[in-house]
Structure 1
């Protein structure tokens, strides 16, 4: 009896060890929640759970390797930490994977501890169930419903005002009829002697008439002049683009630096429109919109996903095969900011040389609306715009005013040495200002600086 109990206990211990080993093999001994964080931080650039991106889909990878290749988590640990070394050792399957995915080398992760890798594998085996998300469509409908109610109220008010106006007109007509009925013969005779033509009125009051005509001529001249001066000024212009691109999502929500896409603004005269290949740097792996915390009213996930598909169509990218087809379609963007041909403007001069000076000047003039990026001084708070619009006038007067009020950064070593004599001269000439140097003092108002 004692012998049987000993064997029974040994059997239970063996079964327990077997189960614990099996759990380790199938990635169940890790923390899926922590694994999710690690997966998103290290793996999502090339992998997804449910579809192939740059690398294969990873959901159930532990089970697949065990079933198809007879490999356990030890192999995965080696592959994740240093797949190059594993391939160099002659591992057959490691080299097969490398060949299968177009010899695209996977990043090595020697910094990940064994526990971290176990957590990631646990996440791929048993991903945590996502909490139900708020119905974005319902939220959108509620958001849209409010303006509709306001429109209904406005319509009722307008109809009521029109009815009141009609009633007043009817009352005036009736009063006029009553007055005519009550006129005496003397009053009727007086009416016959009144002036009844414009020529008679003008002859009687020609001095007043000439004065009014002169005033009208002056106002008309001013109106025409003002209209001419604003030709080509398109403040508020925001055209619809062939592919919807929200700067609020990219620059605002995702904190993407302006110069990551508009790289030539720092090194060249023109800040070019980014090529579609720049978009594909991110959207090669981001094929759908998952930021449910922000959606514009009237737009849903399907809308944003459709715009990403337009990027793929333009670049000839096949997301299923993860390769380019070679069939590209140019995107005809509508330009928003466009200086006249006779105006010279250099982005690099403002973005690099004048960066700190422009930011300081803008924040000094706008203490309640400060900026942190030099681009916003001219283009407005672009990180809050879903549809980009022209935020300023971009007239000659607007530029001159900026040059007259923006102080040159004298903390810059080059400026401090180059403008040393000028600075000393201005200190003596304008002691109250402390010799303040603005852009106009160093040639910022010379015609040849901006005009060919």
Structure 2
């Protein structure tokens, strides 16, 4: 006969073991602070991982539970892996080397700066991520203002059209009336009037012959005005302040440089070390957008919704041949033909690094002195305007020769620089003797307006 009491005891023991294992399993779930872990995850992990899909590394949602269930791996192993995965692999750990091989031998970054508590917080976040807050109504800055401005502009345009059409109709009516009056006058003229009309000037040539000197003076004035008009028109060839062409991929500098505080030189790296700032390649964009496949920001430009921004990311993926599902390049690329906005003539030499590095503080100080109510913090803004507020980049200044010379005449050389103090000491002393002790060294004093500096 079966002794149910013995089996009952065994069952209770088995249940106890399961409960204790489950308790340990749950205890690991609740270690750490998920809220703090969320911040640490965003700072340290989002370049290679997301919670719910494969990126450069595997998805991390529930990774603690998954590894414990499938590989019998505990948090101690995860602590070692995050801090120094290279050392863990070197120790011969089988699973560490298996993961390394599975992900194409791409070495994970080491995080010796993270404490055990930090790692516990990150793991707690992957096990129990805080609920996402309800999507707030997207901020559409100046939406009402922009709509009012657009409506006012449309009303103004409509009013202008009505006025122009009315004036054209009135002018046409007056011409018709004059024509009819002329016909009536001809019919009513007597023979005496006809004889009198023969003695009157009947054409412009007769009028010119009679008043030849006045006519020649008038023509001379017209010639001078015409020459001035042509000269003035030619002087503004290539000056396109306010020019903002439509680009093949919509890129908002306000979102990238303004809201997300991306440094100008992260993308335009040539500005600091070279003559040109260069248009960044799409690979620079993909450094971030491999992990950013959709726009989740709060800011929406009036007239654009999230789908619009997401579509632009898809165009970026198609242009670079990136497959977001496989997280790999297909090799099928489509070159993007950007429309250049800032373009110096070939006969003008301009070196970005000279202004961005050597003249950085001097230019910022000079600009802020001349524009006390419109201060700048980055040297780029002195010429290109406040790019971080522009959704569509436009030319903010004229970029004429006179504009550059005026800047060189008013920008003081940074004499707080020890190198400049030593290099320009004799020049500074000479200028003080010539113009007084209050004189300052401006760029023109060190050759900034010599022809050969910009034209070669």
In the superposition, the TM-score normalised over structure 1's length comes to 0.82
Matches within 5 A, 1:402-417: 402-417=407-422
Partners of 1:157 and 1:350 in 2: how far apart? 48
Q: Does the alignment pair 1:286 with 2:292? A: yes
Q: Does the alignment pair 1:276 with 2:282? A: yes
Superposed CA offset, 1:154-198 (max 9, x none): 4664577579769978998999999xx9xxx99xx9998797754
CA shift at 1:374, angstroms? 1.5
- Aligned match of 1:316 in 321, 338, 341? 321
Superposed CA offset, 1:306-350 (max 9, x none): 222333333333332223333333322222222222222222222
Task: Name 2:89's counterpart in structure 1.
Answer: 87
Task: Name 1:366's counterpart in structure 2.
Answer: 371
CA contact (8 A) 1:140 1:298 kept: no
Partners of 2:268 and 2:259 in 1: how far apart? 18
Q: For structure 1, which runs of at least 5 residues remain unmatched after alignment?
A: 1-6
CA contact (8 A) 1:426 1:434 kept: no
Matches within 5 A, 1:44-193: 44-136=46-138, 146=148, 149-150=151-152, 153-154=155-156, 157=159, 161=163
Superposed CA offset, 1:252-305 (max 9, x none): 1121222222222222222222222222222222222221x2121222222222
CA contact (8 A) 2:366 2:412 kept: yes
Task: Name 1:304's counterpart in structure 2.
Answer: 309
Q: For structure 2, which runs of at least 5 residues remain unmatched after alignment?
A: 1-8
Task: Name 1:348's counterpart in structure 2.
Answer: 353
- Aligned match of 2:35 in 23, 33, 36? 33
Partners of 2:232 and 2:154 in 1: how far apart? 38
Task: Name 2:362's counterpart in structure 1.
Answer: 357
CA shift at 1:216, angstroms? 2.6
Task: Name 2:26's counterpart in structure 1.
Answer: 23
Task: Name 2:222's counterpart in structure 1.
Answer: 216
Q: 1:112 to 1:417 in 2, by over 3 A?
A: closer
Partners of 2:246 and 2:165 in 1: how far apart? 39
Partners of 1:144 and 1:429 in 2: how far apart? 55
CA shift at 1:143, angstroms? 7.7
User: In terms of mean alpha carbon deviation, does 235-244 or 224-233 score higher?
Assistant: 235-244
Q: 1:206 to 1:404 in 2, by over 3 A?
A: same
Matches within 5 A, 1:259-274: 259-274=265-280
Q: Does the alignment pair 1:437 with 2:445? A: no
SS at match of 1:409: coil
CA contact (8 A) 1:428 1:435 kept: no
Partners of 1:138 and 1:302 in 2: how far apart? 15
Q: Does the alignment pair 1:226 with 2:232? A: yes
Partners of 2:375 and 2:411 in 1: how far apart? 15
Superposed CA offset, 1:202-224 (max 9, x none): 56766655554333322211111
Task: Name 2:6's counterpart in structure 1.
Answer: none
CA shift at 1:44, angstroms? 0.9
Partners of 2:157 and 2:403 in 1: how far apart? 40
CA contact (8 A) 1:379 1:390 kept: yes
CA contact (8 A) 1:261 1:274 kept: yes
Partners of 2:294 and 2:151 in 1: how far apart? 33
- Aligned match of 1:335 in 340, 350, 357? 340
CA shift at 1:368, angstroms? 1.5
Q: 1:374 to 1:221 in 2, by over 3 A?
A: same
SS at match of 2:70: helix
Partners of 2:30 and 2:352 in 1: how far apart? 55
CA contact (8 A) 2:140 2:301 kept: no
CA contact (8 A) 1:242 1:332 kept: yes
Query: RMSD across aligned C-alpha pairs, in angstroms?
Result: 3.9
Q: 1:371 to 1:207 in 2, by over 3 A?
A: same
Superposed CA offset, 1:81-104 (max 9, x none): 332333233332222111111122
Q: 1:140 to 1:75 in 2, by over 3 A?
A: farther
Superposed CA offset, 1:352-374 (max 9, x none): 22222222222221112122222
Partners of 2:139 and 2:118 in 1: how far apart? 38
User: In terms of mean alpha carbon deviation, does 322-331 or 256-265 score higher?
Assistant: 322-331
Partners of 1:145 and 1:365 in 2: how far apart? 33
CA shift at 1:427, angstroms? 0.7
Superposed CA offset, 1:408-432 (max 9, x none): 222222222222222111111101x
